[in-house]
């Protein structure tokens, strides 16, 4: 199994680039953000519990997202591999992911770290707010998401750097240019 993490701050282009990786490499997309939004939309008890947390820009509890991911990986069937998008977002989640993948004997192969300056992130997310109307794309929530990222999520990069698995990708430029860089990095893994 070829398991990849796409990592970066909110608005870095993780979801955008994950779509290209799924198509080109036949991996299964596992986006905790999408899974949580789907739970909200279908009005499940879990969805109702996480809605306010997501809208405020805070992270949902490790327990909830770890459970969602474990269920998908262990019941995934015959996948070629997964692209984890928006997960892990804390070191505790990264440790859990390693433990889940140990059960299927298929560790994380590499972490693509999309690097985008803060000013650009804000522009992208406010632009998405206009186009898609996502409840957490407002100035207050974006500030909170960047803060959560800096405090809780950045240490995840260090965790995987210590395992020698992080590949930096410049996340500025057109979507196609970034795809080209990602393809180059993936071919080296």
Please give the residue ranges that form the binding site for ligand B4P (CB under 6 A).
10-16, 32-33, 36, 53-54, 57, 59-60, 65, 86-87, 89, 93, 124, 128, 136, 145, 174-175, 178
**Cis status of the peptide bond prior to 87, with omega within 30 of 0:** no
Q: Which is nearer to ligand B4P, 103 or 128 (CB)?
A: 128
- The least distance separating ligand B4P from the CB of residue 138, rounded to whole angstroms, comes to 12
Q: Is 115 designated active site?
A: no
C-alpha span between 171 and 19 (Å, rounded): 15
Closest CB to ligand B4P: residue number: 33
Residue pointed to by tokens 């500030």: 143
Q: Which is nearer to ligand B4P, 11 or 110 (CB)?
A: 11
Angle, alpha carbons 147-149-155 (nearest 5°): 125
Q: Is 14 designated active site?
A: yes
Q: Which is nearer to ligand B4P, 62 or 79 (CB)?
A: 62
- The least distance separating ligand B4P from the CB of residue 57, rounded to whole angstroms, comes to 6
**Which positions are catalytic?**
14, 89, 128, 134, 145
């Amino acid at each position: 199994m070829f398991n990849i993490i796409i990592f970066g701050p909110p608005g870095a282009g993780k979801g955008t680039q994950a779509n290209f990786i799924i198509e080109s490499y036949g991996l299964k997309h596992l986006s905790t953000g999408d899974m949580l939004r789907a739970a909200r939309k279908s009005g499940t008890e879990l969805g109702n519990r996480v809605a306010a947390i997501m809208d405020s820009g805070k992270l949902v509890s490790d327990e909830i997202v770890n459970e969602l991911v474990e269920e998908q990986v262990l019941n995934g069937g015959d996948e070629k591999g997964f692209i984890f998008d928006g997960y892990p977002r804390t070191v505790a989640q990264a440790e859990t992911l390693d433990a889940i993948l140990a059960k299927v004997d298929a560790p994380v192969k590499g972490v693509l770290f999309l690097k985008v300056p803060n000013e650009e992130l804000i522009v992208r997310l406010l632009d998405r707010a206009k186009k898609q109307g996502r409840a957490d794309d407002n100035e207050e929530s974006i500030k909170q998401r960047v803060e959560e990222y800096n405090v809780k999520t950045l240490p995840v990069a260090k965790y995987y750097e210590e395992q020698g698995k992080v590949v930096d990708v410049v996340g500025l430029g057109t979507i196609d240019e970034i795809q080209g860089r990602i393809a180059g990095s993936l071919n080296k893994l």
